[in-house]
């Protein structure tokens, strides 16, 4: 069973609208959680990183939240743009070891005009 | 270079042939990672290097896969006797060190299609 689950699998929204992507994880002990944006045919690019003590972190129109007690994170995109169309991948890092990254399968977001 | 560089960006090969995929990490990054991403799937860990050594090779799918890193820099992922199920994007990433707080930077990937 994947230790990082993302929902929804895919999402279509109108340009200018807001949306929220979800990430639930079971990884323990927890170190940090990152959201990556992956454009089609490109490598993933880091959007935010959150540690245990952080609840909210923003990067422009992207706002990530983390509830370490319930092991849930969300990525909120405000005033969506066509360029936001991409896959958004949640990556959770375990506190021990070096290759201890757990990847979600991503949410495919399509923004339409 | 400014980012992680991978080559080739696209490769179509016949079943049974060998392929080599190359990764140039960000200069000074000691940690290097290889992942595989099949269409619509999440990233699958293959192997990572700390310097030139690979402490964990457990993610390599079979003995047809091997990887090496020389001079603490460039890494090569080799797939021997390719099979159709090897078709995927092979992503390389690097980070300054392997500690948890280090950001991992990904390359653009090598798209492999085995026909």
Instruction: For residue range A6-30, list pLDDT tens digits in order.
Output: 999 999 999 999 999 999 999 888 8
| Confidence band for B100, pLDDT divided at 50, 70 and 90 | low
Average confidence (pLDDT) over A77-99: 87
Residue A1 has pLDDT above 60, yes or no: no
- DSSP annotation of B74 reads -
Give the neighbor-by-neighbor strand order of the sheet with A72-77.
A4-7, A19-25, A72-77, A62-67, A56-59
Chain A residues inside the 8 Å CB shell of B59: 99
Determine the Cα angle at A73 with ends A71 and A76, to 5°: 165
> Which residues of B, range 71-100, sit inside 8 Å of A by Cβ?
91, 93, 98, 100
A80 Cα to chain B: minimum distance (Å): 23
- Taking alpha carbons only, the member of A77, A111, A105 closest to residue A91 is A105
- DSSP annotation of B8 reads -
Closest Cβ–Cβ partner in A42, A49, A103 for B43: A103
Tokens of A61: 């129109």
């Amino acid at each position: 069973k994947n230790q990082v689950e993302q929902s929804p699998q895919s999402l279509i929204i109108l340009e200018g609208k807001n949306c929220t992507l979800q990430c639930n994880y079971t990884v323990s002990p927890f170190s940090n959680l990152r959201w990556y944006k992956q454009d089609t045919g490109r490598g993933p690019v880091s959007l935010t990183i959150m540690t245990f003590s952080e609840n909210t972190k923003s990067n422009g129109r992207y706002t990530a939240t983390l509830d370490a007690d319930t092991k849930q994170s969300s990525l909120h995109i405000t005033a969506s743009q066509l360029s936001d169309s991409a896959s958004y991948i949640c990556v959770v890092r375990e506190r021990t070891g070096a290759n201890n990254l757990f990847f979600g399968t991503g949410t495919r977001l399509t923004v339409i005009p | 270079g400014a980012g992680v560089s991978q080559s080739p960006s696209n490769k179509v090969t016949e079943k049974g042939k060998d392929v080599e995929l190359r990764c140039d990490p960000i200069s000074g990054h000691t940690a290097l990672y290889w992942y595989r991403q099949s269409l619509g799937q999440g990233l699958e860990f293959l192997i990572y290097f700390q310097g030139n050594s690979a402490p964990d090779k457990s993610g390599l799918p079979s003995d047809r896969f091997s990887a090496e890193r020389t001079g603490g820099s460039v890494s090569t992922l080799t797939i021997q006797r390719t099979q159709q199920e090897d078709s995927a994007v092979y992503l390389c990433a690097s980070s300054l060190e392997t500690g948890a707080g280090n950001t991992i930077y990904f390359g653009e990937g090598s798209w492999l299609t085995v026909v």
